[in-house]
Chains A and B, each alone.
Chain A
Amino acid sequence: MKTLMLYKRKNGEGGIRNRIAVISTVACSNHVVEQIAQQVPLADAYTHAYGCDQLGEDLTLSFNCLKKMGTHPNVGAVLVVGLGCEEIKASELAAEIAKIQPLCEYFNIQDVGGTTKSIAHGVKIISRFASKLSEMERTEMPLSSLTVGLECGGSDFTSGLAANPSMGKLAKKLCENGCKVIFGETTELMGAEDILKKQCVNHDDYLWICERIKKIEKVAHDMKVDLRGTQPSPGNIEGGLTTIEEKSLGGICKTGGLPISGVLDFAESAKVKGISFMDTPGNDLACSLGLSAAGAQVILFSTGRGTPMGFAASPVIKITANRTAAENMAENIDVDLSGIISRSMSIEEGGTMLFDILMQTANGQETSSERLGHREFGLYRISPILT
């Protein structure tokens, strides 16, 4: 049995990192959160534009996403920072997180007495967390502890020909080892329905996915907009992708033709072993949030044009098969698969390279985006702003 050295959590999950999450409940806390997180190397700022003036399902989704970041296996300690008058209450969020996360505290800026005092107070708390986390050690856990997210962004012709099929080979290996693998990006399945029909284990899941794709087309119809304005993006088109169908048929190669065993709503925790589809936007940050909230400890991200984005809770491994991106953005790329395009390596070898770097990353090696300080975070809103 293949094993990894992970941080074992109270609930049995395994973390590939042991970070401190400093979470804003509301945009008003962002500056304080950023200032606190900057002063402790293990800490990441989870800032966003929301947390106030939200209602119904939209509010619930934001709350749940923040909660899932606080209980993410890669997070070893949490500080929740509220302002004091917002809908997402710091005390409630911290109480939910503390059910799973032993190191969790919160405060409100209005209670502590303003920016300066809050920053000092927060730094004191997370410095204490940092010394506790540094005492924790990795323990041996099975490879099946991993949940892996697959994503693509800034795609071009090389994505569908080389990088995504290599991810498909990796997915096969992960499935054989009992891991959970999740892919999303609903818009980018438009035109790949016939392939999904063959791969979905349950016909109802296939119908569910088609329904979600149709929903997007209906919104476009109701708004009288042509998706061609963004799908494919100008960069995709420059890179040889002419239509959304072409982009989708390249994107679905991430799943390697393997059975799709389950479907998930946005940010829902992965339930079954093998491959699951999650209903997410194509937007890279929103998709990363969904995959990470589902429990993905790591995200593999293929790009043709090159993109620097990381994610706060889950390290992102950047893959390209475009030699120009591999050279121009070398510091942002973890795996160069351009040899597949020049026929000096096979897709099978690409899959092996991805598996090797995934193992190294899980055991603690920093990815390019981590090394460069890319720890982006953002929430995803599902309703218009009413108030």
Chain B
Amino acid sequence: MKKSALKLTETDTAATAMEDIPAGEIVAITDTNGKDTEGIRALSDIKRGHKIALKDINLGEEVIKYGYPIGIACKSILRGECINTDNLVSARGRGDL
């Protein structure tokens, strides 16, 4: 069975991996009704619970999950790459800036 990642809303640009996904595998992107919406090749290993990019995301662009921004890309992210603390930063509570 194909590995899957859950996309919560139509506008989301990140989906949650439902199991460990090794780089190179085609991931079934499913919606909340369990329907497959598309297949994306994972460009990096993605651990269960971590996020896969659903489109190319530019440096400085917001990443969307739950239909809302969850932070800003601090590197450009390719469709199929893992989204984590290496390429996504919070825009909030940044007293260091």
Q: Which residues of B contact A228 (CB under 8 A)?
A: 89-90, 93-94
A5 at the binding interface (Cβ < 8 Å): no
Give B71-97 as 1s and 0s: 1 = Cβ < 8 Å from A's Cβ atoms: 100000000000111001111111111
A239 at the binding interface (Cβ < 8 Å): yes
A220 with B68: in contact, given A161-B16, A243-B88 (CB under 8 Å)? no
Q: Which residues of A contact B66 (CB under 8 A)?
A: 160, 246, 249-250
Q: Are A249 and B68 in contact (CB under 8 A)?
A: yes
B55 at the binding interface (Cβ < 8 Å): no
Q: Are A191 and B95 in contact (CB under 8 A)?
A: no
Q: Are B93 and A226 in contact (CB under 8 A)?
A: yes
CA distance A158 to B69 in the complex (A): 19
Q: Please give the number of chain B residues whose Cβ is less than 8 angstroms from any Cβ of chain A in the complex.
A: 29
Q: Are A220 and B95 in contact (CB under 8 A)?
A: yes
A285 at the binding interface (Cβ < 8 Å): no
Interface residues of A in 255-310 (CB under 8 A from B): none
Q: Are A224 and B68 in contact (CB under 8 A)?
A: no
Q: Are A242 and B70 in contact (CB under 8 A)?
A: yes
**Residue contacts A-B, CB under 8 angstroms, 20 given:** A157-B16, A161-B6, A191-B68, A191-B69, A220-B94, A222-B95, A223-B95, A226-B95, A227-B93, A228-B94, A237-B85, A242-B51, A242-B84, A242-B88, A243-B92, A245-B69, A245-B71, A245-B91, A245-B92, A341-B18
Q: Which residues of B contact A187 (CB under 8 A)?
A: 93
Report how many A-B pairs have Cβ atoms within 8 Å. Answer: 94
Q: Please give the number of chain A residues whose Cβ is less than 8 angstroms from any Cβ of chain B in the complex.
A: 36
Q: Are A226 and B47 in contact (CB under 8 A)?
A: no
CA distance A267 to B70 in the complex (A): 30
The 9 closest A-B pairs by CB, nearest first: A227-B93, A240-B49, A220-B95, A157-B49, A226-B96, A243-B90, A243-B71, A246-B70, A249-B66
**Closest-CB distance, B28 to chain A (whole angstroms):** 13
Residue from B70, B84, B91, B94 with most neighbouring chain A CB atoms (10 Å): B70
